[in-house]
Each structure stands twice: as structure tokens, then as C-alpha cells.
Amino acid sequence: MNKTIRIASGQGFWGDLIDAPYHQVTRGPVDYVMMDFLAEVTMSIMQKQKLRNPELGYARDLPGQLSRMLPHIVEKNIKVITNGGGVNPLACRDAIFREAEKQGIKGLKIGVVVGDDILENIDALLAQGIELRNMESGEAFSSIRDRIVSANVYFGAFPIVEALRQGAQIIITGRTTDTGLTLAPMIHEFGWAADDWDKLAAGTVAGHILECGGQSSGGNFLGDWKSVPDLAHIGFPIAEAHPDGTVYITKHENTGGLVSEATVKEQLLYEIGDPTEYITPDCIADFTSIRLQQDGENRVRVYDVKGRPLTPFYKVSASYHDGYSAIGTLTYAWPDALEKAQAADGILRTRLSDLGLEFEEIRSEFVGHNSCFGPLAYVPKEINEVVLRIGVRGKNKDHVARFGQELAPLILTGPPSVTGFAGGRPKPSDVIAYWPALMPKTAVTPQVIVEEN
């Protein structure tokens, strides 16, 4: 079997380059486009949007993006797989069907994967003895039960494979792993078995390389960032997948950016823990087995990946309300810019203390001096300007609001040469915290719904 498929990365997060997936389907040959929208906290934002409007709760960029892609994907039979359905994948599908109808496109098959959203079933799950204990801190779920905002299971590639098998051209999921979006078409096209661990691991590694969009094709590349050509027109990465699990990472011709062993290595190391066990719902991939080889310009071969059997657990990502925070800034200019900012910080802290306000944390950083490097920052002889960035977090919303009122007065009652307060008073915003847990795979079942307009 000599078949290969080209899977293009179209989106690395909710807020990424809007036109990237359009360019992937118009600037060269691809068979699939994967679009990752979900970070750990994205679901909580979407859950809040759905509370305000039951028709929302998905990546709102997505219907517009797909609308523009539709004529091209229909003509070229390109399939699109995305987890942008968020907490309302069915509403997302309906919005895409409406876009298709506007263009007179009929017979479009959209698959939806649901069942990952366990917010409504939490009590039933707890009653079954599923603890949902925090897998990092070990804390009991009861400590956050009444403050929960969202709770989703991470599904893997196989529900998407089922939707592909049923002929779906577009597949919208909720909380599916980023890597599953890329692995699924390989399983579907190459007929990989559900226990062919090395191949599933190879597809998972390809998924990890694609899931952050331009971050593997020259974006955010620390190795030698000045050597990356034409980032303005960066080509997002494409995985050319082979049935034996070998994958070539490349990008469309005549696009900017860079695909090299070094850019791919940086992405492989991004947000991983123990490299010998990269755990997904589909398999465990061993990142210490990955071999890379430059195979011409902007083309890297990824091969020899080893995998191990999957675990009996799904990861659960829950979020809960955890108080309020506010952050404000003031800019101080030479002379003595840093000393002035530090003095202003001291004055403000004294006033907050005099008022008896209580916070869990007050954090002051001096942007231009140490907000990235903390104690590692060098103290320069002279500094032109520095931004005092001060934030508070606490359970009492009124106290957080009062902090916001105390910042601006520093302009007329603190050190001189201060500016940069155009944004108004910082307002308290909800703090949404993240709660990772595990649950047995037997406790929840993904459902696949494929419909045609």
C-alpha cells in the first residue's frame, strides 16, 4: 500500500490566525485539515457563553472560517476535523449547515462527537463511586462541587474514526485530545488496529507536532529566530503520513516560516512531562523513541516511534470558580524609573493594608525590568521607563474592586513622571481554576451523530 495522506494544521488555539485553515486548503494539496481550539480553560469560557445564550458555547470563529473553506473542501473532497464544538458541538454544526445553505451547498455530511460533557451527570458519577479526586493535589472533589463551571472528558481518535467511516466530511467534537484530531484520519485511511501501539503512537506524535499550528513551522522558534523567513506569511505545518507510521512534516510551497529538525524538536518538547509516557486516550507514546531527519528544504522525517497500550482511564478536565482578581498598570519614566515604580508599589500596598483589605495574593512586577525573569533580572544602570504591573486575587469581590479604585490616585498622589492609565479602573474578574482528574473509561460513552443537509 503506497497511499499517503496530507493532514494540515489549520489552527493552534482559539484566537489563532483566522485565515490559516483557508490558506491550507487553497495554497497546495491537502486531504485533511485539523483545527485545535481548546486549551485547558477554554471549555469554562464556552460554558459561560452557553449559559448566557443556549445557541453558543463553541468557537465562534469556526462557522465563518468554514464558510470560506466550504467551496474548496467540497470541490477537492478535503475533510475537516476540529474540536471547536466546545460545549455545544450540535449548535456549532447547525451554524455550519446554515453557512452551507447560504451557498447552496447540499448533501454536506457533518459528524458530531458528543458525550464528553459530564457537567450534568456529575452527581450520578459521584454516586457510582467515581471520585474525580484532583490527580495532582489529591484533593477531594467535594471541595469544589458547588463551584463547578465545566467538566469534560478527553476523548481520543476513535469516535472521529467512526464519523469518518460513516462518510462525514466535517467532524465537530467537544473535548477531544488535540492529538486525536490528527491520529484519527491515519487510523481511518490506513486501517490501523486499535492495538497497533507503535502506529497509534506515531500518529499521536504527528498530532503533537501539528496541534500548536505555526509553532512547529518557525513561529516562536528560539533556536535562531532571525533565520526564519517571512513570518508574515507563515505556512502552517502539514503532516504527510505513510501507512507504516512514518510522517514527513512540511508546509506548502511559497509560504513563509521554516520546518527544520530544530523547529520540530522545540515543538516536540512543548508542554510534555515524562517523555517516556505521553498518555492519551488512544495509547502511550514514548517520545524518547522518536527519530528525526531533515529530508530536504522544509521537510523533516519523523519515524521509529514506539508506543505502549492505553490506560483504562479518561482524563477529566473540570473548572471551578475560585474568587476574583484584578490587574492594573502604571508607567514610570526616567529618571529613577524603577525606583519610582517600586516606591509607588510600596505606597499602594500601605494604603491597601490601611484599608484592611484582604487578598490571597498581591503580586507586583516591573515590566521592562523583571516580569519575565524575576530574581534573574539584571539591574541596568539606567532604565528609560518601567511599567508597574500589580494584581490582587481574593475571595471578597468588594475588596478586589476597591483595589481597582486605589490605583489611579497614585498619579496625583505618588512619585512623578507617571502615565499609561488609559484603560480606566481595573475591574474584578472571575478566577476560574482548573481541576484535572481521572475516571474509568467504562463510565462514559462517546456518541457519534452524522447528518446530511
Partner 1 sequence: MPTKRIRLIEIAHARSGDKGDAGNVGVIAREERYYPILVQQLTADAVKQHFEGICFGPVDRYELPNLGALNFILHNTLGGGGTVSLKNDAQGKTLSSAILRMEIDIDEALLSA
List residues binding partner 1 (CB under 8 A): 39-41, 44, 136, 220, 222-224, 262, 265-276, 287-292, 319, 322, 325, 327, 361, 363, 365, 367, 371-376, 389, 391-393, 431-434, 436
CB atoms within 10 A of CB 244: 12
CB of 267 to partner 1, least distance (A): 7
Instruction: Name the residue nearer to partner 1 (CB basis): 18 or 269.
Output: 269
CB of 28 to partner 1, least distance (A): 27
Instruction: Name the residue nearer to partner 1 (CB basis): 290 or 338.
Output: 290
CB of 387 to partner 1, least distance (A): 9
Cis amide leading into 243 (omega within 30):
no
Instruction: Please state whether beta strands 238-241 and 5-11 pair in parallel, antiparallel, or not at all (unpaired).
Output: antiparallel
109 in Cβ contact with 167 (< 8 Å): yes
User: In terms of residues, how long is the chain?
Assistant: 453
CB of 32 to partner 1, least distance (A): 26
CB of 432 to partner 1, least distance (A): 5
Instruction: Name the residue nearer to partner 1 (CB basis): 24 or 150.
Output: 150
* Grid cell locating 159: 469516535
* Grid cell locating 158: 476513535
Residue at grid coordinates 517516556: 276
126 in Cβ contact with 141 (< 8 Å): yes
Instruction: Name the residue nearer to partner 1 (CB basis): 248 or 320.
Output: 320
CB of 276 to partner 1, least distance (A): 8
For residue 299, give the amino acid letter: R
CB of 194 to partner 1, least distance (A): 26
For residue 115, give the amino acid letter: G
CB of 137 to partner 1, least distance (A): 9
Q: How far is CA 70 from the centre of its chain?
A: 24
For residue 187, give the amino acid letter: I
Instruction: Name the residue nearer to partner 1 (CB basis): 121 or 311.
Output: 311
12 in Cβ contact with 59 (< 8 Å): no
| Alpha carbons 140 and 291: distance in angstroms, whole number | 41
CB of 150 to partner 1, least distance (A): 12
CB of 322 to partner 1, least distance (A): 6
Instruction: Name the residue nearer to partner 1 (CB basis): 433 or 449.
Output: 433
Instruction: Name the residue nearer to partner 1 (CB basis): 372 or 412.
Output: 372
- List strands edge to edge, sheet with 284-286: 278-279, 284-286, 306-308
